[in-house]
Amino acid sequence: MNFIDCHCHMAADEFLQDIDEVVEQSRKAGVVALVSVTEHEHEFERMIALSGRYSGFVLPCFGIHPIQSDADCYRSVTMQDLEPALPMFEKYKDKLVAIGEIGLDFTPWLASTLEQREEQQRVFHMQLKIAQKLDLPVNVHSRSAGRQTISFLKEHGIQKVLLHNFAGRLSAALKGVKAGYYFSFPPAVTRNNQREKIIRQIPLENICLETDSPSLGPNKEERNIPENVRISCQYIADVKGLSPETVCEITSKNAMCLFPKICENLHS
């Protein structure tokens, strides 16, 4: 089986010490591509370096996450977080496979005020415009804002979308399906049955695989790694009553449809 991890964080600090080993393990497990996102501007150059080091395998995305961190303190994003990154999108536009990780996060203790949420929407909107200008798909975060995120994407005419680790209501997800959006689920879904109903109802033709490495693995206390994409595949197969081979085949086709530059890299 040839797996595609459509959402991971290979430029994260957690992979600094053993990235070669992690990449090699992923390849041995049957992973053929890692769509790797960023959260902060300071990860951009590291992401490009990794994509050069593992050419055709680590595929770079640029994005400013709706939640930022300052000395281990988490806060809602501001335009000041995005502005220094803007020249980088243009500089590396030919290398990017998507814009991400971007989106909305209305977790009450992180974005409790209307002003914070409106600022998130401004940052999100500006990055959506970059994606449209560069004709790239978007890799989207939507914690505590599933309905709002899908509505926002539709309002702005965004068509090429991956909603990663979607945990919103089924009714919102089905609106996303109708809009042609894709959804992906990390290995953490195996810890409980919260996503079972959504996974069962979303057509396999709208599902991709992800790990969100180094987060959201099968064991909360352990670092997640891309080879665990097999766990997501098996869980989706079990929920839908399909073989993991079928889930792998269809989700990989979906990934190549959503992220066409994957095909270019696989055949280069």
| Paired tokens of 9 | 């964080």
109, pLDDT greater than 60: yes
Please give the pLDDT value at position 264. Answer: 80
Q: What is the pLDDT of residues 199-238, one digit of tens each?
A: 999 999 999 999 999 999 999 989 999 999 999 999 999 9
Instruction: Name the burial class of residue 90, with classes exposed (0-12), middle (13-18) and buried (19+) by CB atoms within 10 angstroms of its CB.
Output: exposed
Side-chain half-sphere of 183: how many Cα atoms within 13 Å? Answer: 30
Amino acid sitting at position 71: A
Please give the pLDDT value at position 143. Answer: 96
Residue with tokens 């109708």: 178
Q: How far apart are CA 195 and CA 207, in angstroms?
A: 13
268, pLDDT greater than 70: no
Please give the pLDDT value at position 240. Answer: 97
Across all residues in the chain, what is the average pLDDT?
96
Q: What is the pTM of this model?
A: 0.95
**Residue 74 contacts residue 112 (beta carbons within 8 Å):** no
Q: How far apart are CA 234 and CA 244, in angstroms?
A: 5
Q: What is the pLDDT of residues 60-102, one digit of tens each?
A: 999 999 999 887 789 999 999 999 999 999 999 999 999 999 9
Q: What is the pLDDT of residues 120-165, one digit of tens each?
A: 999 999 999 999 999 999 999 999 999 999 999 999 999 999 999 9
Q: Where are the domains of the chain?
A: 3-266
Domain made up of 3-266: CATH architecture: Alpha-Beta Barrel (3.20)
**Residue 76 contacts residue 67 (beta carbons within 8 Å):** yes
Please give the pLDDT value at position 1. Answer: 84
